[in-house]
Amino acid sequence: VKSVNPVVKDDESEPEMPKKSVLASKFHILEGIYKNLGEQNNAIYERELQLAGVEKEIAGAKGFFKAKQRKELQEQAEQLKTQIASMKQYLSSFVHGYGYKNVKEFLAEFKASKAEYADYQSAVAKWEQQTGNKAESDSMKARLQRKQQEVRERENSRQSHQHKNDRGAR
């Protein structure tokens, strides 16, 4: 009877799972900043539409009897212009708080990060197809579950150590 070795050695080793670059790993953070910028930009756009409407009303308020209305509308227009200017300034200070000189610099890094993340995702998909393995999800939910498991294990080991110390102390 011949002895058969159950371990079969492949000449072709399994390809290594792609690693995330630093820029690709920053993508989710940058995406959150980008969404905040988009919301702020939409708010600015709405104020600009309001300003256009007020300026249209000012143009329609002609005549001696509409002087009071025209004055109120002009004050409202000035307030809107001031608001818009401060909101635009906020955009710059917002990204400055994250270490970028201006919005343009941030957008350049976001675009590069998005491209690298897309490349990483396609490389992972290709790797999964080649190996038949599933890549561990990098989602927040998966990370949260891993952290919760680590905490449970730590608590269990801490409790077991406390019981041992308590018994010896009695």
For the stretch 65-90, pLDDT in tens is 778 888 899 999 999 999 999 998 88
**What percent of the chain is modeled with pLDDT above 70?**
81
Whole-model pTM? 0.62
Neighbours of 74 (CB within 10 A): 14
Structure-token pair, residue 46: 């709405």
Euclidean distance between CA atoms 10 and 24, whole angstroms: 33
Residues making up the chain, counted from first to last:
170
Q: Rounded to whole angstroms, how far apart are CA atoms 42 and 157? A: 51
- pLDDT tens per residue across span 145-158: 788 888 888 888 77
Q: State yes or no: pLDDT of 2 exceeds 60.
A: no
Taking the CB of residue 41, how many other CB atoms lie within 10 A of it? Answer: 14
Q: What is the pLDDT of residue 152?
A: 85
Q: Which residues contact 142 (CB under 8 A, 6 or more apart)?
A: 136
* pLDDT greater than 70 at residue 164: no
